[in-house]
Amino acid sequence: METMTVRRMQFAFKPDMDPVFIKDDPDMSFMFLGAWMMLPYLEPFLIRTMRDALPQVRDEQLKEDLRRFCAQEGEHFKQHAMANDLIRALHPSYEALRTLEAELDRELKEFTRTKPLKFKLAYAEGFESMTSAVSRAQFEVGLYDRTDNPLADLGKWHVMEELEHRSVAFDVYEHIVGSWPYRFKQSLWSQRHYFGWVQRFKNVLVVPQAELIAAYQAPAIVAARKAYNRHYLRRALPRVLGTYMPWYNPAKVDLPEAFETARLHYSSTATTLA
């Protein structure tokens, strides 16, 4: 298992950032931005879940991993909150995002209060296994390397640290709960819950962007985008399916070389906190 470095980043966010930060792909860009609007609520939920689990963890290394997981997630949602403030300011209709944000925050805080630990740990693991599976594919196809948009830089740093801590939610789930059928069932539930919310945020984001989206519909751009997305999905889908298997273990997955390169890059540009 790689060491988990807690990095404090300084991204070159600007008020006039282009929301289309995935090359020539407004649809995927707005989907990511929708997902990222959730992170200042979702990642604190993961942190609360891990802290609820901590008293039941009897392994010193796992306790340390859990603390580092929380510290990395804490940096993630702070950076995303800064980017989200700039995204929300791009259009007056984006004020509607705040209503969704408040509803999501309420729902996840309710999960923390009312759901059993087993549910919350399986939710966290379902989210983490899915994000680490797609992160591997994203590194393989260089998804964030095709524009110099600071949002792409944010995305790349985030998925790199998601891979660094990919085993923690799984290990804590295995240590405390350990049931594969429940993990399988609950992963599907949590991923459906998550993507339902992503879609709601994305729907608000795309409303005022018809003109921008139309600028990417020339046949050559559409064909290149389809080919690239097929190339990405061919890598992402088998990795996501692999996470549902009873023998899945995030410590044993192959990692792309670009992940190691990104770790070194971000370690050299960050302030290291731990």
Task: Name which of 12, 112, 148, 132 is nearest 69 in CA terms.
Answer: 132
Identity (one letter) of the amino acid at 259? F
Binding of Fe ion by 68 (CB under 5 A): no
Considering only 72-80, 192-200, 217-225, 260-268, which stretch makes contact with Fe ion by CB under 5 A? 72-80
Considering only 14-22, 53-61, 69-77, 135-143, which stretch makes contact with Fe ion by CB under 5 A? 69-77
Considering only 2-10, 21-29, 160-168, 261-269, which stretch makes contact with Fe ion by CB under 5 A? 160-168
Q: Write down the least CB distance from residue 91 to Fe ion, Å.
A: 26
Q: Write down the least CB distance from residue 231 to Fe ion, Å.
A: 25
Residues whose CB is less than 8 angstroms from the CB of residue 224 and which lie 6 or more positions away in sequence, other chains included = 24
Phi, psi for residue 3 in degrees, rounded to 5? -70, 150
Considering only 16-24, 88-96, 112-120, 155-163, which stretch makes contact with Fe ion by CB under 5 A? 155-163
Binding of Fe ion by 76 (CB under 5 A): yes
CA separation for the pair 49, 113 (Å, rounded)? 10
Considering only 3-11, 51-59, 154-162, 192-200, which stretch makes contact with Fe ion by CB under 5 A? 154-162
The answer to whether 126 touches 190, Cβ cutoff 8 Å, is yes
**CB of 50 or CB of 204, closer to Fe ion:** 50
Write the DSSP symbol of residue 272. E
**CB of 76 or CB of 225, closer to Fe ion:** 76
DSSP, collapsed to helix, strand or coil, labels residue 85 as helix
Instruction: Evaluate the CA torsion angle 264, 265, 271, 274 in order and state its sign.
Output: negative
**CB of 71 or CB of 205, closer to Fe ion:** 71
Task: Name which of 156, 190, 152, 201 is nearest 37 in CA terms.
Answer: 201
Binding of Fe ion by 263 (CB under 5 A): no
Closest residue to Fe ion, Cβ-based?
Answer: 76
DSSP, collapsed to helix, strand or coil, labels residue 14 as coil
Q: Write down the least CB distance from residue 51 to Fe ion, Å.
A: 15
The answer to whether 148 touches 207, Cβ cutoff 8 Å, is no
Binding of Fe ion by 166 (CB under 5 A): no
Considering only residues 179 through 238, tell me which ones interact with Fe ion, judged by CB under 5 A.
none
| CA count, 13 A, side-chain hemisphere, 178 | 3
Q: Write down the least CB distance from residue 128 to Fe ion, Å.
A: 5
Tokens of 249: 């273990």
List interacting residues with Fe ion (CB under 5 A).
73, 76, 162
